């Protein structure tokens, strides 16, 4: 449809709505009837059972509105008639808006053309969202504010300063692509210079990270030791995060809103509502078909709605939303109604589920055409001028595409770059102070030495913050002098809040994704979160954040971004009463995730040194603490100095032997030692290796012990099938086969769940007797 036809449609609609409003006002003066459910309205025609076709929203005078609408709560914005009285952008600014909107659309079209020519491999467009996104980019500051966009946000990134060539470099997977250096799909935005944080594919995971990003600024202001270090923090910075209407169904959406409102964080949430999540219409996704109605009672939230295809209305709404955040009043939420004139992606065909009349109605609200028509109507530019702009942009896009297609692809030798930090190696000698460590004081438990490490590291580095469920001594600080304090369900974080304050040690909502997602955002800004998941058994709600965000942030951005978070997790069984949901030990789920370090101490001294390494290294670390080992007398230790560290990937020989080897970790270390002492009475000399670190693990130590004894048992608490020991056994069989005098044996838990009854738990989990039996059988082989 031409720009002129769109202009005529707009004029016609104005007249019709004005006439309708006048008639409605006259009726309301007589009586205020209830609307029958079956009567067709502008938003829901009676003959249309699927998502309604909406006309172009137009200004309505305040007098024509029902009284209850005129008395809307403050957070829902002002009348459009009032907005139109405000000064408009200058003609030059309006032309810049049009240029960016049209450029965004032409880049979508160019990528579609390249995909059809098999020159790129994927395409997902931002068509129909351009007006609200350009408006957002105009009122926010690149390199000053922070941005967590989603895949429709092409126009925003252009407005912030990303070039057409940079976006097309992403489409062709070029090595110089600033978004991901060829590692992610196109439209997965990221730009270090502009503060656009690397985006991923899972919908909604960016929301909690944006909250964490804003919370980092909040905590920098509270922590006095950091105030002079905050070079990349601004007093009135805003964190932008966007989502589609389908994403509002995700639990992390609600978790993000909850924390942003609770802490009054300067987060600007932009809901780009095009009415569809691929093929699922909004009324199927959302109760009532309108998420704004569901969130309107969140405290401190400035809620506004707008026609996101109207650039000027969008600009006014975004100005107010950003101002609210900059003034420190809390988060803003803008619900922008937009369109999706193209299919979800080139892998989708919307004609299969959207009728022609609905798609035509969307086309009539096309923001690029509407704004072009407005420019001509207000004599900012004429048709020839519009065409000249189009020709210039078309030529620039074609030139950028040609350059992108000639840009080199990343080399095969780069695939392992940035899986882990290239700058800090936690397996190096820099992290090995074991031999020279002087121990002192009374012996402490694993809980005591972990707690001491947290105290010393928080004193050393004010960037270290601790949070999770129940980790604080008392959230209501006024009662701190009246209570003993919680300090975690196992007392591991006791007295940290008392010592370092509530800005650095605090409780989180009971929501694991909230904990990890916020930590990812904070770590991106330079803080060092050491968070706790209360029980390993409940870590699964955070799996998206751990697997798809935390572990992959550095790699997917080609080293541009990182999130070195430490996740402390109580794990394991042998509790007598832990049962199904307090005794899990599925470590192999995490050790197979590239980018994630996994360590598992068996004693108090190792726990202290490994945790210090975890905090000081530059990678995300999962620090597993076996609950059964927390207060055992046999693994106590005197206290090491404050610089004591155990490097990752360095196993420890806890018992020398010559007849066979046991490779183990965690609670099975002690059980293996008990079995080894029993075997010695039968003349069998057993060597026991404590891995201590599971990812990475010490292959050199494994190789040495296998070559020494020629027989090996791998023992662990995890289930036998697909457990961690299967990888060790397979690699030994593959690389050390000629040194074996017997098959590799495994001792592990049964392939079932841990039961509550003690006799059942004892049967399910591996015991010293199981290890002793395996020793005898392997010796006799």
Separation between Cα atoms, residue 77 and residue 336, nearest integer Å = 13
Q: Which of 129, 181, 335, 582 is catalytic?
A: 582
CA dihedral 15, 362, 359, 156 (to 10 degrees): 170
Q: Which residues of 574-583 are buried (b: 16+ CB within 10 A; e: fewer)?
A: bbeebbeebb
Tally of residues, the chain: 781
Give the 3-state secondary structure of residue 718: strand
Beta strands across the sheet bearing 597-599: 505-507, 464-468, 528-532, 566-571, 621-626, 597-599, 693-695
Q: What is the 8-class DSSP label of residue 608?
A: H
Closest by CA position to 143, among listed 212, 217, 229, 234: 234
Does residue 455 have an active-site annotation? Answer: no
- For 35, 80, 166, 720, the CA distances from 695, given in Å and listed in that order, are 64, 58, 36, 19
Separation between Cα atoms, residue 259 and residue 630, nearest integer Å = 32
| DSSP-assigned states of every residue in 2-35 | -HHHHHHHHHHHHHHHHHHHHHHHHHHHH--PPP
DSSP-H helix ranges across 53-187: 67-70, 80-83, 91-116, 130-139, 154-160, 164-171
Give the 3-state secondary structure of residue 80: helix
Sign of CA dihedral 548, 553, 555, 558: positive
Give the 3-state secondary structure of residue 251: helix
The phi, psi pair for 719, rounded to 5°, reads -60, 150
- For 23, 653, 701, 715, the CA distances from 690, given in Å and listed in that order, are 83, 6, 10, 10
- For 19, 55, 92, 96, 383, the CA distances from 380, given in Å and listed in that order, are 29, 25, 9, 12, 10
- For 112, 264, 487, the CA distances from 475, given in Å and listed in that order, are 53, 17, 10
User: Which long-range CB contacts under 8 A does 76-79 form with residues at least 24 apart?
Assistant: 76/296, 76/303, 76/304, 76/305, 77/303, 77/304, 77/305, 77/306, 77/317, 77/320
Separation between Cα atoms, residue 676 and residue 684, nearest integer Å = 8
| Active centre residues (catalytic) | 582
């Amino acid at each position: 449809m031409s720009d002129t036809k769109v202009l005529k449609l707009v004029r016609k609609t104005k007249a019709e709505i004005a006439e309708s409003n006048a008639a409605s006002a006259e009726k309301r003066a007589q009586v205020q009837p209830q609307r029958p459910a079956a009567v067709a309205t502008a938003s829901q025609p009676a003959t249309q059972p699927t998502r309604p076709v909406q006309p172009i929203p137009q200004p309505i005078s305040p007098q024509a509105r029902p009284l209850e609408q005129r008395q809307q709560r403050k957070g829902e914005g002002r009348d459009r008639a009032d907005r139109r009285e405000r000064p408009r952008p200058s003609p030059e600014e309006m032309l810049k808006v049009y240029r960016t909107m049209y450029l965004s659309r032409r880049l979508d079209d160019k990528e579609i053309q390249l995909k059809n020519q098999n020159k790129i491999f994927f395409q997902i467009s931002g068509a129909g969202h351009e007006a609200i996104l350009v408006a957002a980019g105009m009122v926010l500051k690149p390199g000053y504010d922070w941005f967590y966009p989603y895949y429709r946000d092409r126009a925003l990134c252009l407005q912030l300063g990303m070039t057409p060539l940079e976006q097309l470099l992403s489409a062709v997977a070029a090595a110089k692509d600033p978004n991901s250096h060829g590692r992610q799909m196109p439209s997965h935005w990221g730009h270090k210079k502009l503060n656009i944080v690397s985006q991923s594919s899972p919908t909604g995971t960016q929301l909690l990270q944006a909250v964490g990003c804003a919370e980092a600024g909040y905590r920098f202001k509270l922590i006095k030791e950091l105030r002079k270090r905050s070079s990349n923090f601004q007093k009135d910075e805003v964190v932008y995060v966007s989502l589609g209407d389908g994403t509002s169904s995700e639990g992390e959406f609600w978790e993000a809103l909850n924390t942003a409102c609770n802490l009054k964080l300067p987060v600007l949430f932009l809901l780009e509502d095009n009415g569809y999540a691929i093929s699922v219409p909004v009324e199927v996704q959302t109760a009532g078909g309108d998420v704004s109605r569901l969130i309107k009672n969140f405290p401190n939230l400035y809620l506004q709605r707008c026609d996101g295809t109207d650039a000027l209305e969008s600009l006014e709404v975004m100005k107010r939303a950003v101002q609210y955040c900059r003034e420190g009043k809390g988060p803003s939420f803008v619900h922008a109604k937009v369109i999706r004139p193209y299919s979800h992606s080139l892998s989708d065909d919307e004609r299969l589920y959207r009728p022609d009349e609905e798609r035509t109605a969307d086309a009539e609200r096309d923001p690029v055409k509407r704004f072009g028509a407005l420019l001509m109507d207000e004599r900012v530019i004429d048709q020839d001028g519009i065409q000249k702009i189009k020709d210039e942009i078309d030529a620039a896009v074609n030139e950028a595409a040609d350059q992108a297609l000639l840009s080199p692809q990343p080399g095969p030798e780069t695939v392992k770059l940035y899986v882990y930090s290239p700058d800090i190696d936690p397996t190096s000698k820099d992290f090995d102070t074991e031999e020279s460590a002087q121990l002192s004081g009374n012996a402490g438990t694993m809980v005591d030495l972990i707690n001491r490490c947290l105290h010393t590291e928080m004193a050393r580095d004010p960037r270290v913050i601790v949070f999770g469920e129940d980790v604080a001594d008392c959230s209501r600080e006024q009662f701190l002098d009246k209570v003993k304090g919680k300090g975690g369900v196992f007392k591991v974080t006791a007295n940290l809040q008392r010592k370092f304050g509530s800005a650095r040690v605090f409780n989180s909502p009971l929501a694991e994704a909230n904990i990890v997602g916020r930590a990812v955002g904070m770590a991106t800004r330079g803080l060092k979160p050491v968070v706790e998941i209360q029980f390993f058994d409940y870590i699964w709600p955070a799996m998206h954040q751990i697997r798809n965000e935390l572990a992959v942030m550095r790699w997917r951005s080609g080293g541009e971004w990182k999130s070195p978070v430490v996740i402390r997790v109580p794990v394991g069984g042998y509790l007598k009463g832990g049962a199904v949901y307090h005794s899990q030990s599925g470590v192999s789920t995490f050790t197979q995730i590239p980018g994630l370090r996994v360590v598992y101490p068996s004693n108090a001294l190792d726990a202290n040194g490994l945790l210090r390494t975890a905090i000081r290294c530059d990678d995300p670390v999962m620090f597993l603490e076996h609950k059964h080992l927390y207060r055992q007398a046999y693994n106590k230790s005197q206290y090491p100095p404050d610089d004591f560290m155990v490097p990752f990937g360095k196993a420890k020989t806890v018992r020398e032997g010559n007849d066979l080897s046991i490779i183990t970790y965690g609670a099975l270390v002690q059980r293996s030692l008990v079995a080894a002492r029993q075997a010695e009475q039968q003349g069998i000399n057993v060597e026991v290796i404590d891995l201590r670190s599971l990812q990475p693990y010490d292959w050199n130590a494994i190789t040495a012990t296998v070559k020494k004894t020629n027989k090996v048992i791998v023992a662990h608490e995890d289930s036998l099938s697909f457990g961690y020991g299967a990888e060790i056994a397979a690699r030994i069989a593959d690389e050390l086969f000629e040194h074996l005098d017997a098959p590799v044996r495994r001792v592990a838990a049964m392939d079932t769940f841990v039961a509550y009854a003690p006799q059942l738990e004892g049967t399910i989990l591996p015991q010293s007797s199981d290890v002793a039996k395996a020793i005898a059988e392997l010796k006799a082989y």
